[in-house]
């Protein structure tokens, strides 16, 4: 598929493609070149209300479709995603900017979760358990909740919508999706494929537009029973407050300030591979990005020089070119924020080893490119070591030993991903136990989560839920306990103790 430049797109509500009620629009542009990708409806509360109403109506029927049949539709979607992988990958390099291999990985993650969750249609296991009374049957089953509002970010424009929509759907919920305004074309394509796979009208809806209008209305709408959001900590707090009034379930996947620990006994070259991939992959725009590297002093100098040499060889360019290592960042605001952290780091007294500037030469000047940036001699309390930058910037922090490394790694408000490079099995197991994070990697960087394991974090990274894996089912179902008494007489739990 070629790029969809200048096409006009619509919302998808109740199986129909419709404009925003206001008729207003916004453009999606490529962060690499500024070219227009498409024009999208700038929706408002009215559009959300329509979408929620049809999703609520569709729920009445969709919840009764046998889960294996819901799964069959999703298996079809998985095959369609496989067929369309090349087109989606190309579109992603243009609309979001990430490089081809990673864009393909993003689509692959959607394929993986779709197969995994489609299979869940034949599981969705509950429990049976003995009753304390004779001739009585006890069981618990998962039940769908209702209309799910999914608010998704631009950094994984196909994968994250899939992590939210596919488990929600297999469990029997219906969905209204509000994708990020930076990547609407990819979300649109994903929903087109869902429609093509045979999802009944009204079960999946997409409403384009901003968080302050579309997102806010979704969160406050009394008929939206679950909100699932991947975004910033600040947005998460706002969503939680707004949803309190209607007691809406809220699943939050927020920021990270993830660290790689490198001990003296680590294989340094391997650690440098892990740092490059985790700090600069997706131009550092992952919640799981390694924006801190905590290094034991014995290996600090060697690691620094190997890392800088490798970083300086990375080639910036548009994501669709084969030899590009690092694509653009998402937009001008992001570029400015990233650069402001370079200034902050310098003012705080950190040593800038490489990068630290906007890359504006030649064609790069048309896009939002930032040089991969490494700070050394960073104090763990500096802002560049505490705050999420969401760009290609990492901070080297020297430490004396494993204890200090763990303390520094944990000394932040977030708790998403963590990593340790060591050959010492004792150190590895201590790190696995003591790193305060939802994810720990041993001898690998901080990125690369697989879809059949729970994904999410502790502390300010979320509110205790996980997406992907079996854990996702807990976000999109509620437990019902069922007691069947076949004794033919009234038996009273806790009262009739004689058996
Ligand atoms: C994110 O950045 O929000 O583990 C998701 C990873 C990817 C998912 C990242 N599989 O980095």
- pLDDT, position 116: 98
Q: How many CB atoms lie within 10 A of CB 489?
A: 8
Q: What is the CATH number of the domain that holds 178?
A: 3.40.605.10
- Residue 419: enclosing H or E segment and its boundaries? strand 417-421
Which of 151, 152, 282, 288 is the best mutation target for the ligand 1 pocket, counting ligand atoms within 8 Å of the beta carbon and taking the most? 288
**5 pLDDT exceeds 60?**
no
Atom 8, ligand 1: which residue's CA is nearest?
449
Structure-token match 């049809």, residue found = 54
- The DSSP symbol for 449 reads -
Domain shared by 244 and 320, yes or no: no
Beta strands in 370-416, from DSSP E residues, in sequence order: 373-376, 393-399, 414-415
Q: Is 312 a catalytic residue?
A: no
Domain for residue 57, yes or no? yes
- pLDDT, position 6: 64
User: In terms of C-beta density within 10 A (0-12 exposed, 13-18 middle, 19 or more buried), how is residue 310 classed?
Assistant: middle
Tell me the per-residue pLDDT of 303-360, one tens digit each, with 9 for 90 and over. 999 999 999 999 999 999 999 999 999 999 999 999 999 999 999 999 999 999 999 8
**2 pLDDT exceeds 80?**
no
Domain shared by 275 and 312, yes or no: yes
Domain for residue 116, yes or no? yes
Say how many Å lie between the CA of residue 155 and the centre of ligand 1: 9
CA torsion, points 354, 356, 358, 360, in degrees to nearest 10?
-30
- Two tokens, residue 483: 């007691």
Q: What is the distance between the alpha carbons of residues 150 and 160, in angstroms, rounded to a whole number?
A: 10
Angle ∠(378,384,388) on CA atoms, nearest 5: 140
- Two tokens, residue 348: 């705080």
Say how many Å lie between the CA of residue 449 and the centre of ligand 1: 6
Q: Report the sign of the C-alpha dihedral through residues 111, 113, 116, 120, in that order.
A: negative
15: left (phi over 0), alpha (psi -120 to 50) or beta: left
Domain for residue 450, yes or no? no
Q: Is 253 a catalytic residue?
A: yes
The number of helices, as runs of H, and strands, as runs of E, in the chain is 14, 22
Number of residues in the chain? 499
Please give the backbone phi and psi of residue 105, each rounded to the nearest 5 degrees, phi first: -65, -40
Domain for residue 134, yes or no? yes
Domain count, the chain: 2
Q: What is the distance between the alpha carbons of residues 161 and 178, in angstroms, rounded to a whole number?
A: 9
Beta strands in 218-328, from DSSP E residues, in sequence order: 224-230, 249-253, 258-262, 290-296
**498 pLDDT exceeds 90?**
no
Structure-token match 């500096």, residue found = 382
Domain for residue 106, yes or no? yes
If you average pLDDT over every residue of the chain, what do you get? Answer: 97
Say how many Å lie between the CA of residue 160 and the centre of ligand 1: 9
Q: Which atom of ligand 1 is nearest to the CA of 230?
A: 3
Report whether 241 contacts 264 (CB < 8 A).
Answer: no
Angle ∠(458,454,421) on CA atoms, nearest 5: 70
Query: 403: which residues sit within 8 A by CB, 6+ positions away?
Result: none
Q: Which atom of ligand 1 is nearest to the CA of 109?
A: 10
Domain shared by 325 and 411, yes or no: yes
- Residue 296: enclosing H or E segment and its boundaries? strand 290-296
**Residues near ligand 1 (Cβ within 6 A):** 109, 155-156, 230, 286-288, 447-449
Domain shared by 278 and 360, yes or no: yes
Q: Which atom of ligand 1 is nearest to the CA of 450?
A: 10
Q: What is the distance between the alpha carbons of residues 228 and 363, in angstroms, rounded to a whole number?
A: 38
Q: What is the DSSP string of 72-86?
A: HHHHHHHHHHHHTHH
Catalytic residue among 95, 120, 287, 467: 287
Q: Which of 58, 389, 401 is nearest to 256 (CA)?
A: 389
Say how many Å lie between the CA of residue 493 and the centre of ligand 1: 47
Mean pLDDT calculated for residue range 250-264? 97
**4 pLDDT exceeds 80?**
no
**Per-state percent for the chain, helix, strand, coil, to nearest 5:** 40, 25, 40
Atom 3, ligand 1: which residue's CA is nearest?
287
Mean pLDDT calculated for residue range 10-37? 97
Say how many Å lie between the CA of residue 66 and the centre of ligand 1: 32
Catalytic residue among 84, 120, 188, 253: 253
Atom 11, ligand 1: which residue's CA is nearest?
447
Q: Which atom of ligand 1 is nearest to the CA of 286?
A: 2
- Two tokens, residue 156: 């994984």
Say how many Å lie between the CA of residue 40 and the centre of ligand 1: 26
Report whether 248 contacts 226 (CB < 8 A).
Answer: yes
Q: Which atom of ligand 1 is nearest to the CA of 449?
A: 4
- The three-state secondary structure class of 476 is helix
Name the band, by pLDDT with cuts 50, 70 and 90, for residue 497.
confident
Domain shared by 315 and 245, yes or no: no
- The three-state secondary structure class of 495 is coil
Tell me the per-residue pLDDT of 191-224, one tens digit each, with 9 for 90 and over. 999 999 999 999 999 999 999 999 999 999 999 9
Domain shared by 229 and 280, yes or no: no
- Two tokens, residue 497: 């103790």
Domain shared by 469 and 414, yes or no: no
For the beta sheet containing 136-144, the strands, ordered from the edge strand earlier in sequence to the opposite edge, are 127-130, 136-144, 477-485
Domain shared by 242 and 271, yes or no: no
Domain shared by 293 and 403, yes or no: yes
Domain for residue 487, yes or no? no
- Residue 271, domain extent: 258-442
Mean pLDDT calculated for residue range 81-101? 98
Report whether 57 contacts 353 (CB < 8 A).
Answer: no
**495 pLDDT exceeds 90?**
yes
- Residue 61: enclosing H or E segment and its boundaries? helix 45-62
Q: Which atom of ligand 1 is nearest to the CA of 439?
A: 4
Q: What is the DSSP string of 134-178?
A: SSEEEEEEEEE-SEEEEE--SSSTTHHHHHHHHHHHHTT-EEEEE
SS (H, E, C) 304-372: HHHHHHHHCCCCECCCCCCCCCECCCCCHHHHHHHHHHHHHHHHHCCEEEECCCECCCHHHHHCCCECC
Structure-token match 């939802």, residue found = 438
Which of 102, 150, 153, 156 is the best mutation target for the ligand 1 pocket, counting ligand atoms within 8 Å of the beta carbon and taking the most? 156
Domain shared by 240 and 262, yes or no: no
Report whether 341 contacts 387 (CB < 8 A).
Answer: yes
Tell me the per-residue pLDDT of 286-296, one tens digit each, with 9 for 90 and over. 999 999 999 99
Say how many Å lie between the CA of residue 25 and the centre of ligand 1: 30
Tell me the per-residue pLDDT of 400-414, one tens digit each, with 9 for 90 and over. 999 999 999 999 999
Domain shared by 276 and 396, yes or no: yes
Please give the backbone phi and psi of residue 286, each rounded to the nearest 5 degrees, phi first: -125, 145
**3 pLDDT exceeds 80?**
no
Domain shared by 466 and 353, yes or no: no
Name the band, by pLDDT with cuts 50, 70 and 90, for residue 137.
very high
Q: What is the CATH number of the domain that holds 275?
A: 3.40.309.10
């Amino acid at each position: 598929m070629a790029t969809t430049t200048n096409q006009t797109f619509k919302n998808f509500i109740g199986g129909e493609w419709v404009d925003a009620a206001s008729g207003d629009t916004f453009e999606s542009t490529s962060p690499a070149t500024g070219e227009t990708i498409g024009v999208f409806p700038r929706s408002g509360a009215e559009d959300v209300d329509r979408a929620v109403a049809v999703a609520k109506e569709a729920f009445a029927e969709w919840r009764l479709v046998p889960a294996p049949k819901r799964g069959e539709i999703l298996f079809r979607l998985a095959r369609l995603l496989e067929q369309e992988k090349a087109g989606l990958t190309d579109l992603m390099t243009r609309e979001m900017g990430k490089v081809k291999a990673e864009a393909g990985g993003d689509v692959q993650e959607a394929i993986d979760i779709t197969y995994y969750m489609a299979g869940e249609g034949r599981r969705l296991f509950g429990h049976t358990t003995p009753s304390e009374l004779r001739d009585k049957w006890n069981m618990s089953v998962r039940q769908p909740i209702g209309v799910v509002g999914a608010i998704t970010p631009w950094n994984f424009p196909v994968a994250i919508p899939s992590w939210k929509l596919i488990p929600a759907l297999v469990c029997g919920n219906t969905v209204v999706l509000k994708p990020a305004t930076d990547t609407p074309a990819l979300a649109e394509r994903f929903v087109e494929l869902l429609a093509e796979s045979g999802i009944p009208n009204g079960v999946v809806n997409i409403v384009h537009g901003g968080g302050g209008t579309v997102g806010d209305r979704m969160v406050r709408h009394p008929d939206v029973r679950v909100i699932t959001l991947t975004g910033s900590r600040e947005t998460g707090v706002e969503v939680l407050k707004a949803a309190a009034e209607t007691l809406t379930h809220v699943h939050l996947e927020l920021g990270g300030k993830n660290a790689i620990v490198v001990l003296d006994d680590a294989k340094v070259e391997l650690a440098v591979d892990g740092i490059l991939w985790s700090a600069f992959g997706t131009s550092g725009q992952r919640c799981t990005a390694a924006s801190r590297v905590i290094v034991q002093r014995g290996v600090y100098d060697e690691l620094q020089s190997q890392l800088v040499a490798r970083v300086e060889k990375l080639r910036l360019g548009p994501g669709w070119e084969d030899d590009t290592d690092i694509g653009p960042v998402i937009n001008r605001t992001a570029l400015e924020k990233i650069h402001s952290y370079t200034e902050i780091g310098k003012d705080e007294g950190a040593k800038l080893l490489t990068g630290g500037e906007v890359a504006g030469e030649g064609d790069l000047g048309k896009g939002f490119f930032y040089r991969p940036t490494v700070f050394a001699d960073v104090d763990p309390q500096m802002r560049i070591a505490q705050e999420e930058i969401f760009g290609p910037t990492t901070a080297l922090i020297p430490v004396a030993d494993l204890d200090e490394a763990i303390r520094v790694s944990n000394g932040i408000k977030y708790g998403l991903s963590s990593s340790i490079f060591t050959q010492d099995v004792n150190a590895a197991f201590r790190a696995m136990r003591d790193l305060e994070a939802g994810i720990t990697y041993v001898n690998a960087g901080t990125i690369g989560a697989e879809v059949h394991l729970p994904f999410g974090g502790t502390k300010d990274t979320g509110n205790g839920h996980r997406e992907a894996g079996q854990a996702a089912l807990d976000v999109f179902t509620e437990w019902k306990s069922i007691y069947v008494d076949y004794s033919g007489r009234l038996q009273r739990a806790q009262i009739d103790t004689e058996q």
